[in-house]
Structure 1
Amino acid sequence: MSKGTASFGKRRNKTHTLCVRCGRLSFHLQKSRCASCGFPSSRFRKYNWSVKAIRIKTTGTGRMRYLRHVAVRFKFNFREGTKAGPRKKRASSSSQASALWVGYEY
């Protein structure tokens, strides 16, 4: 049998389905392994011979729902459950700035 037109007619079974971890159509049903992320392995599938693939999938290319706020929390030493203290009222700088411009005429 050839690999051409006649063989394409027999291709009616799905080998891959959606992966629950990465969401791609790469989970092989008989192998029970994702070709994209390597699920069910605990580590993500990643090879250095494809630097572009690593760059596309790396942290920061998605929403970062949790990690986005970690830098701000780190700045204040991950404090929680505290209340913001009263802020001192400062002299308004806008009134001083407007007083400087009163004397000028163009």
Structure 2
Amino acid sequence: RRCGRRAYHIQKKTCASCAYPSPKRRHFEWSEKAKRRRTTGTGRMRYLKTVQRKFRNGFREGTTPKPRKRTAAAPSSTVATK
């Protein structure tokens, strides 16, 4: 099946959940909870989960990060100075 559920009707030869083998997926506008179960983010999102990080970096590719300059180490606050 396309949806991975056991709703395939053998005599009708259609899935009650996703309408397989119809090319368009079965969905209705009146069921908000059903939309939530099937929407983006309920699966692995193999590609989309990395897009936000890439967007923040401006979709850079093939470059190396600039070397960070080390700042002078501040005196430790644990040592009491009198």
Q: Same fold (TM over 0.5)?
A: yes
**Is 1:98 matched up with 2:77?**
yes
**Separation (CA, whole Å) in 2 of partners of 1:53 and 1:65:** 22
Which runs of no fewer than 5 residues in structure 2 stay unpaired? none
**C-alpha RMSD of the superposition:** 2.5
Give how far 1:26 is off. Answer: 2.3
**Is 1:74 matched up with 2:55?**
yes
Give how far 1:70 is off. Answer: 0.6
Question: Whose helix fraction is larger, Structure 1's or Structure 2's?
Answer: 1
Q: TM-score, normalised by structure 2?
A: 0.71
Higher relative contact order structure (alpha carbons within 8 Å, sequence separation ≥ 6): 2
**Separation (CA, whole Å) in 2 of partners of 1:102 and 1:29:** 80
Map 1:1-106 onto structure 2 (within 5 A): 19=1, 21-92=2-73, 95-98=74-77, 102-103=80-81
Change in CA separation of 1:79 and 1:27 when aligned onto 2, cut-off 3 Å: farther
Which runs of no fewer than 5 residues in structure 1 stay unpaired? 1-18
